[in-house]
Amino acid sequence: MEFFLVALILLACAARIADAAPALFVFGDSLVDSGNNNYIATAARADRYPYGIDFPTHRPTGRFSNGYNIPDYISQKLGIEAVLPYLNPALTGNELRRGANFASAGVGILNDTGIQFANIIRMPQQFAYFQQYKNRVAAIIGRPATERLVAEGLVTIALGGNDYVNNYYLVPVSLRSLQYNLVSYSNYIISEYKKYLARFYEMGARRVLVLNTGPLGCSPAMRAMRSLNGECAPQLMRATVLFNTGLRNIVDQLNNQFNDQIYTMGNSFLSTEDVFTNPQASGFSNATTACCGQGPYNGLGLCTPSSNLCTDRNGYVFWDQYHPTQRAISVIVDRLFAGAPTDIYPVNLRDLMNLDVESKSSMTNQP
């Protein structure tokens, strides 16, 4: 009898701990896609070896990584299991209460970004799925509890890189490059991004992590295709600065608009000074070449079973032509949670998650 009572108490405690853990809602592109694209007909997929080679199952999962990705490590920090892709049929019942991943590799801020991939889940559809998700959860726990789940959870979004590499710079003379110079284009996509970020507030989110874009010109793909001597491609580095500066500005603007600390901007990559000038100081041996790929810097084409594959994956910063390795991602997320303003601005995730959302849940949009 005593054993039975103890078991009941332990189960009740576990349920309360699960209820106390915040939900995670993930939006954006391949940096944070955990497998949604596996459920749609698209070329933007990571569903074959050697993707997932260092995942616990040693099988591809749809993550653009050799193992875990950014949402996985954020989930671990939050004390929850990795949230499932929204299109995964297993996302039902209590699984919904942990949150969901709506991200889709290939998408951008603009709807014409990633057109070469055809069928991807563009941002309007990701928001539509989020509303659908809220309705499904409300049918289980009620509308007020659902709104609190969203308000007390963490929204994470990664967008912007594809709007350059898979739009503006996709071909030597793109339609967008004929319409805009680089500064005007960057201002345009930032203004469009601000609308999406504001929509999270309108849908009840009160903690939003906005990941900036990494040093686009330093990716193996851009070193291989757009640099003369293997240096970080200057045009793409300028694009990175323009985008990230604009993103920081709109984070400040939105926090001021809503008169609260809602949004914070985090680095989606290790800082250029740390990793490219002295990779050994960060525990890496190679910061220029992809672990998996072919051609100069392993930066041409996709990572496939026939690609070159490094053996020391923990020593590489880049997994494929654009995406960081699992180990690099773990360092990135550590800094998102406990880093200084140079890593995440204006507050790190540890502090953001400790902020009280009581007043935020009842706030209304300020003019």
- For residues 284 and 315, the answer to whether their CB atoms sit within 8 Å is yes
277: pLDDT confidence band, cut at 50, 70 and 90? confident
Query: Which of 29, 30, 104, 227 does the annotation list as catalytic?
Result: 30
Query: Which of 33, 163, 274, 320 does the annotation list as catalytic?
Result: 320
Does pTM top 0.85 for this prediction?
yes
Query: Which of 29, 163, 219, 323 does the annotation list as catalytic?
Result: 323
Distance CA 183, CA 181 (A): 6
**34 assigned to active site:** no
Each residue of 111-136: pLDDT tens digit? 999 999 989 999 999 999 999 999 99
- Which strand (E) or helix (H) includes residue 220? helix 220-226
Each residue of 306-360: pLDDT tens digit? 999 999 999 999 999 999 999 999 999 999 999 999 999 999 999 999 987 654 4
- Residue 279: what pLDDT? 87
- Residue 357: what pLDDT? 66
Distance CA 169, CA 233 (A): 12
Each residue of 151-210: pLDDT tens digit? 999 999 999 999 999 999 999 999 999 999 999 999 999 999 999 999 999 999 999 999
Share of the chain above pLDDT 70, in %: 90
**58 assigned to active site:** no
Q: Coil, strand, or helix at residue 301? A: coil
The residues, ordered by sequence, that sit 6+ positions from 215 with a Cβ below 8 Å of its Cβ are: 232, 237, 240, 269, 272, 276
For residue 115, give the nearest of 188, 64, 63, 170 by alpha carbon: 170
- Residue 365: what pLDDT? 30
The residues, ordered by sequence, that sit 6+ positions from 202 with a Cβ below 8 Å of its Cβ are: 365
